[in-house]
Amino acid sequence: MSDFALSQTKETFVLNLGPQHPATHGVLRVKLEMDGEYIVHAEPILGYIHRMHEKMGENRTWAQFMPNTARLDYLGALSYNHGYALAVERAASIEVPERAEYIRVITVELNRIASHLLWFGAYVLDLGGMTPIFYAFDDREQILNLLESVTGARLTFCYFRFGGVYNDIDDSFIAGSREFIKRLRKQMPDYHNLVTKNIIMIKRLKDIGPISPEMVRKYGATGPVMRGSGINYDVRKNEPYSVYPEFDFDIPVYDECDSMARYMVRMDEIEQSMRIIEQALDKLPEGPVMTEKVPKNLKPPKGDYYSAVEAARGVFGCRVVSDGTNTAYRLKLRSPTFSNLSLFGEACQGMLLADALAFMGSLDLVIPEIDR
Amino acid sequence: MSGYYRDLFGGSWSLLVGLGITIKNMFVPIVTEQYPHFVPVMTPRFRGHIELVGDEETGEPKCVVCGMCQKACPSGCIKLAGEKPEGAKKKVVTSYILDFTRCSLCGQCVESCNFGAITFSKDYNLASTDKNDFIFDLKKRLEEKS
């Protein structure tokens, strides 16, 4: 922070970043108190697209809430489907056939790659690089085509059901996934040469936006933000769900705590997701994709259930309280980006405005998920 | 000082490498969809708005007005009515209105149907400036189609 800003008697001015701003990727408003180009104080103001998803969960049946979960995080919709399905399956003690678990893992990981690719393109676009987003979108398009062929939708998939998945995957999907992984493996060096090693990128990201592990713990940040600060935590490893323990994959962790570390975590996660998909396609068992015993009018026994998954942006937790009826008594959705954003105010104190935007992009914000 | 020159030369080289990738991509065939000239074909599982399915022989809707789709819909966008003609075994649908303005294309109606009486349409060119264009009379659509 400049000496000017440190002396309290001097005047500062207020700058509104958003609610309509290309760098906030949605309707997020950040009230910035500025000293020239330096930020003295930042306060994210939320609620512009609050849609009462949690309340909606209380007045519709368990199955009817499923489409809502895709509307929380439209870039990683399947992880959210998964989180909600797992919580309700735990509540109603529904077993999922093994093939369905594998299909879930394959589609969720494809979705994670799609989400990271979009973030990669949009992030570089935030920093002023126009070209990479076109390459990233071209690759992402392949994933969307694959997922569309099995789920029937391109963004709000709504593919999982309590006790399995909606449709079985076919041979063309399996072949297409293998083809895509081969293609992305060939593209990744290009991405690194074009963006990661680019001197402008390095100068904009290195040592910018430091988030200490203490701050991560204080605000409950998760996902790549946490792993970019040197904390090795991933729900897929630490509290394994579904069939993740069957696969051999690493959790990328970087100790630098800066924007570059968070960037690298995501780029490495793309590679790890590809490894998981490959193994899952190899091991894919035969069998049904849906249990037969799921009642149409689902009434889980009374109780309080929680389940968490590792979404593209961090831990998505879903707490359902059932009172034994066909609607939830309480549905609490713990979304990762909300916690990740809340540290923005503290972390960007004394930062240049341009750096703060580079830092905000590295948090990978999806606003509908913050507001819910 | 050495860091300065390393940045200068290494940095310039990194920019040239990046430029090389862009130049390489200039010779890649067009990957975007040339939309009005080439119209995409929807996948068989594409979830568009719903449509009534007609009987193969008679062309009459298969729907028996059980109301399961209406119950399953999270947004309450299906309104249907039926009657039982004299001598007939099953109920016959008289009107089936879909309020597409509220539909979120989740497909729970199709899943809940035990008679295979509704299916997803492959229509996606649905833009309009009039709200009433999205209130679909599915029975009429089926009659027009046959």
Q: Is A12 on the interface with B (CB under 8 A)?
A: no
- Indicate which CATH number applies to the domain containing B133: 3.30.70.3270
Environment class of B130 (CB within 10 Å of its CB; exposed 0-12, middle 13-18, buried 19+): exposed
pLDDT digits (tens, 9 = 90+) for A51-68: 888 888 888 888 888 888
Residue A112, pLDDT score: 92
At residue A137, does pLDDT exceed 70? yes
At residue A4, does pLDDT exceed 80? no
At residue B14, does pLDDT exceed 80? yes
CA dihedral (B12, B15, B17, B20) positive or negative: negative
Residue A208, pLDDT score: 85
Do B86 and B116 lie in a common domain? yes
Q: Is A199 on the interface with B (CB under 8 A)?
A: yes
If pLDDT is split at 50, 70 and 90, which confidence band does A114 have?
very high
Residue A7, pLDDT score: 63
Please name the residue of chain B whose CA is at the shortest distance from the CA of residue A197.
Answer: B14
The answer to whether residue A24 is domain-embedded is no
The answer to whether residue B74 is domain-embedded is yes
Number of domains comprising chain A? 1
At residue A96, does pLDDT exceed 70? yes
Which chain A positions have a beta carbon within 8 Å of B15's beta carbon?
Answer: 198-200
Do B58 and B107 lie in a common domain? yes
User: Three-state SS across B37-86?
Assistant: CCCCCCCCCCCCCEEECECCCCCCECCCCCCHHHHHCCCCCEEEEEECCC
Do B25 and B57 lie in a common domain? no
The answer to whether residue B136 is domain-embedded is yes
Q: How much is the average pLDDT of A92-117?
A: 90
The answer to whether residue B36 is domain-embedded is no
Q: How much is the average pLDDT of A135-160?
A: 88
Query: Can you give the residue range of the structural domain that contains A77?
Result: 52-347+357-371
- Indicate which CATH number applies to the domain containing A204: 1.10.645.10
At residue A40, does pLDDT exceed 60? yes
The answer to whether residue A278 is domain-embedded is yes
State percent of chain A over pLDDT 70.
Answer: 97
Residue A201, pLDDT score: 87
At residue A218, does pLDDT exceed 70? yes
The answer to whether residue A10 is domain-embedded is no
State percent of chain A over pLDDT 90.
Answer: 14
Give the mean pLDDT of chain B.
84
Q: Is A131 on the interface with B (CB under 8 A)?
A: yes
The answer to whether residue B73 is domain-embedded is yes
pLDDT digits (tens, 9 = 90+) for B44-81: 888 888 888 877 777 778 888 888 888 888 888 888 88
The answer to whether residue B39 is domain-embedded is no
Do B67 and B128 lie in a common domain? yes
Q: Which of A7-21, B7-21, B115-129 has the lowest mean pLDDT?
A: A7-21
Q: How much is the average pLDDT of A37-41?
A: 86
Residue A165, pLDDT score: 87
Do B76 and B19 lie in a common domain? no
The answer to whether residue A77 is domain-embedded is yes
Query: Can you give the residue range of the structural domain that contains B79?
Result: 50-145
Do B75 and B123 lie in a common domain? yes
Q: Which of B5, B12, B14 to mutate to test the interface with A (most CBs of A within 10 A)?
A: B14
Q: How much is the average pLDDT of B116-127?
A: 84
Give the mean pLDDT of chain A.
87
The answer to whether residue A103 is domain-embedded is yes
Which chain B positions have a beta carbon within 8 Å of A67's beta carbon?
Answer: 74, 104, 106, 108
Q: How much is the average pLDDT of A300-309?
A: 89
Do B120 and B62 lie in a common domain? yes
Number of domains comprising chain B? 2
Q: How much is the average pLDDT of A239-257?
A: 88
Buried b (16+ CB within 10 A) or exposed e, A60-94: bbbbbbbbbbbbbbbbbbbbbbbbbbbbbbbbbeb
Residue A8, pLDDT score: 61
Do B16 and B65 lie in a common domain? no
Do B25 and B56 lie in a common domain? no
The CB density around residue A275, as the number of other CB atoms within 10 Å, is 15
Greatest extent of chain B over all pairs of C-alpha atoms, in Å: 98
Q: How much is the average pLDDT of B4-13?
A: 85
Do B104 and B131 lie in a common domain? yes
> Is the distance from CB of A332 to CB of A325 less than 8 angstroms?
no
A158 vs B107: CB contact, 8 Å cut-off? Answer: yes
The answer to whether residue B111 is domain-embedded is yes
The answer to whether residue B7 is domain-embedded is yes
DSSP state for residue A194 in the 8-state scheme: I
Q: Is A172 on the interface with B (CB under 8 A)?
A: no
Residue A107, pLDDT score: 92
Residue A210, pLDDT score: 86
pLDDT digits (tens, 9 = 90+) for B53-62: 877 777 778 8
